[in-house]
Amino acid sequence: MSREELRQSHYLVVSPALFGGRFRAVFSTRRAELTMLDEALYGKLVAGTFAAMSVPELAQLIARRIAVSRDEDELARVLDLERSEAAAAEARPALLLDAEGLSPKAFFAWRARCGVRAVELRLRLHGSGAAAEQRLARSLQMLHAIIEDPQFAQQRLSLQLRCELDARGQPDLLQLIEHLDEQGLLAKLRLTLAPSRCGTAMSAPEFAAFEVTVLRRLAELGHKPALLPALAAHLVASAEADTPCRSCHLLPVCGGATAEQWENSRGTPCPSIRHNLEQRLLLQIREDRRITRSLLVSEDELLEHTQPAALHSR
């Protein structure tokens, strides 16, 4: 492929210039991969001056799908060809249970009946007042009992706690995280967030901003949350001719939404990454010290430029 035949990929999420304007974080959604580019190279990419790049630079951009051939139909490749085996094999919890009203006995009975190792527990955090507090306390008690039961370790179970929350559930969730950490339970489960369909609704950007706060706290506590999205295991946009998903640069990691989901959702059916992927990139850079060490940035620079607030204020 000659240099004149290249262009920038459509499937990129790019941070503002970081570390005194020296670097950009570039996330290829076609590969679900983060690359730090120095600002001069990023400038050439945007300007399309591939002739001014060195051979190793070009090779890196092409290998990482940051630069692609002008003739390439990227959407067709995304829809038809590039489902990686890893993404297709991504294990989703096969058993979903409601935390509310569940007993440890029922948990292990369901688990045995379904014969799965991965279980997702749904915890609803919405509303406030005594009833909501009691509900949370009961669910926590049950969570303790499940994780501390010898069967949990013996059966090598993996537990995902899906916290569905509304605007009023935010303080409860933050409290829950601290509690799980203090009790040594946080390391034994994976915590995820989803907006609740009941209660006081949050707008999509509000939810996404709160999710960043949670991810950041989990990272500070050493919980290693999944900050960057993986390739979507399934693409639902392929059969839909008329949704905005077909032109969306997040399609490979989001998977898209059906026309029906577009029609029935309040706002858009887009996941939170639509609103917070740039902040997630910053958190990832901050967490992965290998990246920042390779860029020779100081600890102070790292902190200053990877605060989610720093991005919001740009």
CB nearer to ligand SF4: give 13 or 102. 13
In 129-265, which ranges are continuous DSSP H helix? 130-148, 150-154, 170-182, 204-220, 251-254, 259-264
Q: Quick one: 169 or 256, whose CB is closer to ligand SF4?
A: 256
Q: CB 65 → ligand SF4: shortest distance, Å? A: 17
Complex with ligand SF4: residue 143 or 245, whichever CB lies closer: 245
State residue 205 phi and psi, 5-degree precision: -65, -35
Which residue, 48 or 244, has its beta carbon nearer to ligand SF4?
244
**Shortest distance (Å) from residue 261 CB to ligand SF4:** 8
Footprint of ligand SF4 on 217-276 (CB under 6 A): 244-245, 248, 250-251, 254, 256-257, 268-270, 274
Residues 147-186 that bind ligand SF4 (CB under 6 A): none
User: To the nearest whole angstrom, how small is the minimum distance from the Cβ of residue 69 to ligand SF4?
Assistant: 23
Evaluate whether 210 touches 202 at the Cβ level (below 8 Å): yes
Distance CA 185, CA 143 (A): 9
Q: How far apart are CA 258 and CA 255, in angstroms?
A: 10
CB of residue 256 to ligand SF4, shortest distance in Å: 4
Q: How far is CA 130 from CA 51, 133, 175, in A?
A: 67, 5, 16
Cα separation, 216 vs 211, in Å, equals 8
Integer Cα distance of 313 and 310 in angstroms: 5
Name the residue nearer to ligand SF4 (CB basis): 169 or 252.
252
Q: Can you give the binding site for ligand SF4, defined by CB under 6 A?
A: 244-245, 248, 250-251, 254, 256-257, 268-270, 274
